[in-house]
Structure 1
Amino acid sequence: MKGSIFKKAITLFSVYKLKQLNSSDLDEAKLKAPNLKEMKDDFNTLVSMGKDTYSGDYKMNKWNLSVIVGTIVYVVSPLDAVPDLIPVLGWLDDVTIVGYSISKLTEEIKKYKEFKGQSNQLAK
């Protein structure tokens, strides 16, 4: 079952990465971050990277930005592999997607943290 949920989540993620984010999406993402438990700080870093890229303060390639956009949209969207209304399981797929994104963006996160002067707190 876990494999099928992950496949569904990846399919939704592929669709979501094409969406344009707006400031209300980013604000909503910040509000939902605490639900991600141990991934909260990593997710907040992704949101900050997105904000700084859209404002022109930080530059990254389009692929990495699409991963960030897809992740944020997946977390804030009511449509995902396991609806967030289901206790515990509802956020498990979101945590999985955030973890997957973090693993794909490790080098970009390191660059971003150096850019922000946080090089002593590099991504795990």
Structure 2
Amino acid sequence: MEINKEQEALAKKKFEDDIKNVDSDDVDYASKKGKTKIDELDKNPPSVLMKVWNDLKLMINLIIDYVKGDYTNVPWNTIAAITGAIIYFVSPIDVIPDFIPVVGYVDDLTVIKFTLDLVSEDLIKYKQWKNN
């Protein structure tokens, strides 16, 4: 299942616009809403997100640990990108609304993959920290 180039461009533009204005309230919101949504979907994640599910959970956990002050050795642009991706993921209304069966999370997948490309090195460092 894929989205067309126009939908992909709209999703990326919305994400890029959103991360320019991320503040600490957004980070806090993303940590809480991201955790809630992951908990709701964890037993039966959307099939389209299966390949990135563990990475998405890792991003949400990084934000949670950042908000708690447990993990702060991460650049603000990484926090902003992850926050933007999580807010996009938890929002039911985006380029393709999540309530549309099967395809509702395809645009979310695009944003998550884009974010993973941006923050992969910092996620690796966080995962190493988390495992120690």
| Structure-1 residue corresponding to 2:118 | 104
| Structure-2 residue corresponding to 1:3 | 5
Deviates further, 12-21 or 95-104: 12-21
Query: Are 2:60 and 1:52 aligned?
Result: no
SS in 2 for 1:83: coil
Contact 2:82–2:115 (8 Å) recurs in 1: yes
Deviation at 1:16, TM superposition (A): 3.4
Deviation at 1:32, TM superposition (A): 4.2
Query: Are 2:93 and 1:91 aligned?
Result: no
SS in 1 for 2:131: coil
Deviates further, 13-22 or 93-102: 13-22
Contact 1:16–1:70 (8 Å) recurs in 2: yes
Q: Which has the higher contact order (CA 8 A, sep 6+)?
A: 2
What RMSD in Å do the two structures reach over aligned CA positions?
1.9
SS in 1 for 2:11: helix
TM-score, scaled to structure 2: 0.79
Give ranges in structure 2 of 5+ residues lacking alignment: none
Contact 2:35–2:60 (8 Å) recurs in 1: no
Contact 2:85–2:112 (8 Å) recurs in 1: yes
Give ranges in structure 1 of 5+ residues lacking alignment: 119-124
Following TM superposition, the consecutive aligned residue runs of length 4 or more in structure 1 with deviations greater than 4 angstroms are: none
- Give the aligned length: 118
Amino acid in structure 1 at the alignment position of 2:5? G
- Percent same amino acid among aligned pairs? 27
Contact 1:71–1:97 (8 Å) recurs in 2: yes
